[in-house]
Amino acid sequence: MKALIRLTALLAVWLFASCDSGDIVEERQTAAGGGRAVKLTARVSGIRALGSRYVVSLASFKSGDNYASTVRAVSSSTEDGTDITLILSPINSEVSTVEFAVTDRLRQRIVTLSRIAVEDYPEQLDTIRMDLGAVDVSAFSVLQSGVFNMACIQCHGGNGGSGAAGLNLTEGQALPQLVDVPSTCREGMLRVASGNARRSVLHQILSEGGENILHVNHTEILTNQFRENVVELRSFIAEWINNLSVENRE
């Protein structure tokens, strides 16, 4: 009898969890509800350098929706180099991707660090594993892996060479080649002007209205690659720039 009551309670939790509206800040779920689970392991660093407006979490998304359906958040006080395990369960049938992502507090996707498509895994597999190794979630690292590596390096240094406009956006190069470096395209401007997104070529060419600043339409590049979260991404980039000070470039 006791077991039956417990089962009913679990079922209630599961039903409640599976029809949530997506606007609860953090929702804790247990793996006990049946259905599939995604289990993520990673060694996380940089979370304190991300800023309190953002949350790093394992999150499930329905196709076309920029609000996570369910999330398991990494604690914002996680020390650098901590091994974490997150389990997201149950993954209901409407979920198309499960992502290790930076979201805002409303659970909107800002930048995806790693993603799996649920349909790629056989249905009989109960637990899908995401073993990510070391992940740096500080703001610039997130831009590097979630944006530059995805949408920029094919023209900016990814094939060797110095990159379009003499700008190499590959790992290790991007930061020193952007921050407080004179633009080769716009005279008198900086690629990234510490503390001032509006005066930064990077921000201008990715923003709405920036379509014609350069010969290559960078606004379109960003929008095509990040259809659902382009607005959030732009403000994340602007905030990264605005938080840079000349003395403290990270």
Which residues bind to ligand HEC, rule: CB under 6 A?
Answer: 147, 151-152, 154-156, 164-165, 167, 183-186, 191, 201-202, 205, 214-216, 218, 221-222
Smallest distance, Å, CB 174 to ligand HEC?
Answer: 9
Contacts of 103 (CB under 8 A, 6+ apart): 54, 55, 56, 57, 59, 68, 71, 109, 110
Amino acid at 130: M
Nearer to ligand HEC, 40 or 147 (CB): 147
For residue 56, how many C-alpha atoms fall within 13 Å in the half-sphere facing its CB? 28
Smallest distance, Å, CB 45 to ligand HEC?
Answer: 24
Q: Are the C-beta atoms of 27 and 70 separated by less than 8 Å?
A: yes
List the one residue out of 217, 148, 215 whose CA is nearest residue 186. Answer: 215
- Per the DSSP assignment, residues forming a β-bridge with 130 are 40
Q: Are the C-beta atoms of 67 and 83 separated by less than 8 Å?
A: no
Tell me how far the alpha carbon of residue 145 is from its chain's centroid: 9
CA-CA distance, 172 to 156, in Å (whole number)? 13
Longest dimension (CA), the chain: 77
Nearer to ligand HEC, 87 or 165 (CB): 165
Q: Where are the alpha helices (DSSP H) in 144-229?
A: 149-151, 174-178, 201-206, 218-225
Smallest distance, Å, CB 205 to ligand HEC?
Answer: 6
Nearer to ligand HEC, 95 or 110 (CB): 110
Smallest distance, Å, CB 230 to ligand HEC?
Answer: 10
Smallest distance, Å, CB 250 to ligand HEC?
Answer: 18
Smallest distance, Å, CB 184 to ligand HEC?
Answer: 4
Q: CA torsion sign, 60 to 66 to 72 to 74?
A: positive
Nearer to ligand HEC, 33 or 146 (CB): 146
Nearer to ligand HEC, 13 or 155 (CB): 155
Nearer to ligand HEC, 88 or 139 (CB): 139
Smallest distance, Å, CB 111 to ligand HEC?
Answer: 12
CA-CA distance, 233 to 225, in Å (whole number)? 11
Q: Are the C-beta atoms of 206 and 237 separated by less than 8 Å?
A: yes
Nearer to ligand HEC, 76 or 162 (CB): 162
- Per the DSSP assignment, residues forming a β-bridge with 72 are 58
